[in-house]
Amino acid sequence: MDVLKKVPVREQDPKVRATNFEEVCLGYNEEEAREEASRCIQCKNPKCVKGCPVSINIPGFIKEVEEGNIEEAAKVIALSSALPAVCGRVCPQESQCEGQCIRGIKGEPVSIGKLERFVADWSREHGIVPEAPEKTNGKKVAVIGSGPSGLTCAGDLAKLGYEVTIFEALHEPGGVLTYGIPEFRLPKDGVVQPEIDNVRKLGVKIETNVIVGKSVTIDELLDEEGFQAVFIGSGAGLPMFMGIPGENANGVFSANEYLTRSNLMKAFRDDYDTPIVAGNKVAVVGGGNVAMDAARTALRLGAEVHVVYRRSEAELPARAEEVHHAKEEGIIFDLLSNPIEILTDEKGWVNGMKCIRMELGEPDASGRRRPVEVKGSEFVIDVDTVIMSLGTSPNPLISNTTKGLDINKRRCIIAEESTGKTSKEGVYAGGDAVTGAATVILAMEAGRAGARGIDEYLSARN
Ligand SMILES: Cc1cc2nc3c(=O)[nH]c(=O)nc-3n(C[C@H](O)[C@H](O)[C@H](O)COP(=O)(O)OP(=O)(O)OC[C@H]3O[C@@H](n4cnc5c(N)ncnc54)[C@H](O)[C@@H]3O)c2cc1C
Ligand code: SF4
């Protein structure tokens, strides 16, 4: 064994997986996990833990894996994370725990994410479930949204004895984990649902098909339905567009709509009737995780796919692993290119996309070099479908229907970071609804902070 290198993880062959929706990464078996765990040198001052937004005791759980005590490893992780099988798969470990791992100085960091995934999968396969509290404290809390922030907040409050009900607008719980991230990265029945079921087993009720702001308002929940506090974890699901000519053409989608059709409504499966435009040649505009997911979904539905991004490869915001997988599968990257018009045929369907070449200028406010148009460099990409993946913002429905709830210029709810407290008494918020589109683990951290804030608030009212 070369201690400088990670134990390789088994993956589906790129040519095979480009034609199916099965999970790309197959994960470690116990022997591989124990071998990888033995690479951890159990640092006295573990930098990896500082890199983890929810401060999992990483050397602690890795030690248990090394010694073959997987159930104990699961207990260590459960102290800090309610969704380990999800986080082990989708967290940007390279910029968090693994980015800080001491092993990474001379070789490859310990494969912390894959070890977390192994422990979580092992626990599920061995039927290990969290224990519900013996009795409740009789106080009711409403959670809006069943994404990672809402699930974490609800789970933490249930463990403290609160009676928690999650209200979810869609017909399935899970937020982006269910409707956004595709099956080939995050299996729904095998991974997401069992982790949601674990939250239910703590006593949390989940009511689907309830749009807060339409079916019921926050004031009604507080004043008429007997809830003593509310946590808003409603995410940032409203897609942005470029505002270029032709963007309303047939065959132009937001990545959110495209992915929701495929993931939540199962359009990729032959036994479902949900329509989806598979496209022959698809352009995905943008360079984040969402763009990679849309591109790799379109590829699996049979299209030739181009990712069109206005900066260079170094600035691609998507996780390095996702870009690597996308390239292996045959996605074409048209970098330093920006769309300026969507072209249509006489029936209004997309038949091309006019772009302009870009070059990188001085750094902008984000610290990344600003893309600047190269005059006279227009060109046309021959495509019949365009998927816009330019970011999302929070839906204003809740802020518009809740008096006294302050939002900022970007329509994000204003909330204290350490408690989730908002401008409205008894109302707490966290996750993408507060930060704008971010990550699963940051949403979980915010859910945890919200639970702490609500517990302090309701404890003080006795
Ligand atoms: C395609 C895609 C890929 C991504 N990939 C990654 C990744 O690889 N790694 C990573 O860390 N992050 C990734 N992210 C980001 C991550 O998923 C989000 O940051 C995270 O899910 C935010 O969690 P949340 O709980 O705040 O909101 P969400 O997950 O968005 O959940 C919000 C929930 O609230 C519900 N809701 C909204 N309004 C209402 C209402 N009025 N009433 C009732 N319910 C309501 C919504 O239906 C939704 O279910 C990705 C995002 C997308 C879209
Ligand atoms: S920094 Fe790396 S080697 Fe050190 S405890 Fe964390 S995982 Fe182990």
Tell me if 58 CB under 6 Å of ligand 2.
Answer: yes
Mean pLDDT of 347-352: 96
For residue 62, give the ligand nearest its CA: 2
Q: Which atom of ligand 1 is nearest to the CA of 176?
A: 29
Residue 316 has a pLDDT of 93
H-run or E-run covering 141: strand 140-144
Virtual torsion, Cα 209, 210, 211, 213, nearest 10 deg: 170
Tell me if 46 CB under 6 Å of ligand 2.
Answer: yes
Joined tokens for residue 83: 């969704």
Tell me if 231 CB under 6 Å of ligand 1.
Answer: no
Tell me if 394 CB under 6 Å of ligand 1.
Answer: no
Mean pLDDT of 447-454: 97
- Percent over 90 (pLDDT), the chain: 89
Residue 320 has a pLDDT of 86
CATH of domain 10-125: 1.10.1060.10
Residue 462 has a pLDDT of 67
Residue 163 has a pLDDT of 97
pTM, 2 dp: 0.94
pLDDT of 277 > 90? The answer is no
Mean pLDDT of 238-267: 93
Tell me if 52 CB under 6 Å of ligand 2.
Answer: no
Q: What are phi and psi of 77, to 5 degrees?
A: -65, -40
pLDDT of 304 > 90? The answer is yes
Domain 140-237+393-460 bears CATH identifier 3.50.50.60: yes
CATH 3.50.50.60 domain range(s) in the chain: 140-237+393-460, 241-390
Q: Which residues contact 416 (CB under 8 A, 6 or more apart)?
A: 453
Tell me if 398 CB under 6 Å of ligand 1.
Answer: yes
Q: Letter for the amino acid at 136?
A: T
What is the tens place of the pLDDT at every residue in 204-236? Answer: 999 999 999 999 999 999 999 999 999 999 999
For residue 152, give the ligand nearest its CA: 1
Q: Which atom of ligand 1 is nearest to the CA of 150?
A: 25
CATH 1.10.1060.10 domain range(s) in the chain: 10-125
Residue 369 DSSP one-character state: E
Q: Ligand 2 pocket: which of 36, 48, 115 to mutate (most atoms <8 Å of CB)?
A: 48
For residue 6, give the ligand nearest its CA: 2
Among protein residues, the one with the nearest Cα to ligand 2's atom 8 is 40
Residue 135 has a pLDDT of 85
pLDDT of 332 > 80? The answer is yes
Tell me if 395 CB under 6 Å of ligand 1.
Answer: yes
The runs of H, that is alpha helices, within 103-189 are 112-125, 148-159, 176-179
264 by Cβ neighbours in 10 Å (0-12 / 13-18 / 19+) ranks as middle
For residue 257, give the ligand nearest its CA: 1
Q: Are 204 and 401 in contact (CB under 8 A)?
A: no
Q: Ligand 2 pocket: which of 52, 62, 63, 102 to mutate (most atoms <8 Å of CB)?
A: 102
Q: Which residue has the higher pLDDT, 266 or 41?
A: 41
> How many angstroms separate the Cα of 227 from the Cα of each of 168, 221, 360, 421?
16, 6, 52, 16
Q: Are 269 and 276 in contact (CB under 8 A)?
A: no
What is the tens place of the pLDDT at every residue in 400-428? Answer: 999 999 999 999 999 999 999 999 999 99
Tell me if 170 CB under 6 Å of ligand 1.
Answer: yes
Give me ligand 2 centre to Cα 279, in Å. Answer: 45
Virtual torsion, Cα 428, 431, 436, 437, nearest 10 deg: -160
What is the tens place of the pLDDT at every residue in 15-64? Answer: 999 999 999 999 999 999 999 999 999 999 999 999 999 999 999 999 99
Give me ligand 2 centre to Cα 98, in Å. Answer: 8
Q: Are 157 and 182 in contact (CB under 8 A)?
A: no
Give me ligand 2 centre to Cα 152, in Å. Answer: 26
Tell me if 147 CB under 6 Å of ligand 1.
Answer: yes
Residue 263 has a pLDDT of 87
From the list 288, 279, 280, the residue with the least C-alpha distance to 307 is 288
> What is the b/e burial string over 30-69, where b = at least 16 CB atoms within 10 angstroms of the residue's CB?
eebbbebbbbbeeeeebebbebbbbebbbbbbbbbbbeee
Query: Can you say how many angstroms the Cα of residue 343 is from the centroid of all Cα atoms in its chain?
Result: 32
Joined tokens for residue 189: 């029945």
Cα gap 116→33, rounded to integer Å: 10
Tell me if 83 CB under 6 Å of ligand 1.
Answer: no
Phi-psi region of 296 (alpha: psi -120 to 50; beta: other; left: phi over 0): alpha
What is the tens place of the pLDDT at every residue in 86-113? Answer: 999 999 999 999 999 999 999 999 999 9
Q: Which residues contact 390 (CB under 8 A, 6 or more apart)?
A: 239, 240, 241, 242, 285, 286
Give CATH superfamily name and number for 241-390: FAD/NAD(P)-binding domain (3.50.50.60)
Tell me the β-bridge partners of 284.
307, 387
Residue 267 has a pLDDT of 77
How many residues does this entry show for the chain? 462
Mean pLDDT of 438-443: 95
The terminus-to-terminus CA distance of the chain in angstroms comes to 59
Chain mean pLDDT for the chain: 95
pLDDT of 265 > 90? The answer is no
Tell me the β-bridge partners of 196.
none
pLDDT band at residue 369 under the 50/70/90 scheme: confident
Residue 152 has a CB neighbour count (10 Å cut-off) of 31
Mean pLDDT of 321-346: 96
